[in-house]
């Protein structure tokens, strides 16, 4: 396996888990939202406002479909699952892992959706978004981790175990994986 792609709702911990998973494996970490910001020179929230839902998703698809990485944990934005071409490409790069949380957990973790740059249609609620996206995350996932109530290090252990991945440095203390 060459890469791991973490998918899930905003606030599901893709970036946190991804960073520490990459560190444990001795791999690189790529947050595709940060990659979009880097390529466009603007914050995600501003891009989402300026481009609108369809324009933002086209940009997200373009960036994710162009990734060419190896031995990398990738954390794409939560709306990547709307773009078939991007998801086909990401699946061709490695294993797709869905970090599944209950709606109540996601709602409790999210702050201002506008500031986070969450791609939503006008009038759509977070519950609407959750109901719409969850079947798509499940469709694309090679592995689903029920992550409610788990610490990042526990999620990482499950992913490593189920994908048969060894640590890069077994002498590194567990506490560096975060809480």
- pTM value is 0.88
Across the chain, which has 179 residues, the per-10-residue mean pLDDT values are 92 95 96 94 88 89 96 94 96 97 92 65 87 97 97 96 78 38
pLDDT at residue 116, rounded to an integer: 63
At how many degrees (to 10) do helices 84-93 and 44-65 cross?
60
Q: Which residue segment(s) compose the domain that 156 sits in?
A: 3-165
pLDDT at residue 138, rounded to an integer: 97
Tell me whether residue 179 is in a domain. no
pLDDT at residue 158, rounded to an integer: 97
What is the number of structural domains in the chain? 1
Tell me whether residue 175 is in a domain. no
pLDDT at residue 60, rounded to an integer: 93
Tell me whether residue 21 is in a domain. yes
């Amino acid at each position: 396996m060459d890469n791991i792609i973490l998918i899930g709702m905003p606030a599901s911990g893709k970036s946190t888990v991804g960073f520490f998973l990459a560190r444990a494996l001795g791999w690189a970490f790529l947050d595709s939202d940060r990659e979009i910001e880097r390529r466009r020179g603007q914050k995600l929230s501003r891009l989402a406002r300026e481009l609108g839902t369809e324009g933002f998703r086209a940009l997200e698809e373009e960036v994710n479909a162009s990734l060419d990485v190896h031995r990398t944990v990738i954390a794409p934005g939560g709306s990547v699952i709307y773009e078939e071409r991007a998801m086909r490409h990401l699946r061709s790069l490695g294993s797709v892992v869905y970090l599944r949380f209950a709606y109540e957990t996601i709602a409790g973790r999210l702050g201002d959706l506008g500031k986070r740059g969450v791609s939503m249609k006008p009038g759509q609620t977070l519950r609407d978004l959750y109901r719409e996206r969850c079947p798509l995350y499940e469709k694309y996932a090679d592995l689903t981790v029920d992550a409610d109530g788990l610490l990042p290090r526990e999620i990482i252990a499950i992913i490593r175990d189920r994908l048969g991945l060894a640590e890069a440095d077994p002498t590194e203390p567990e506490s560096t994986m975060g809480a």
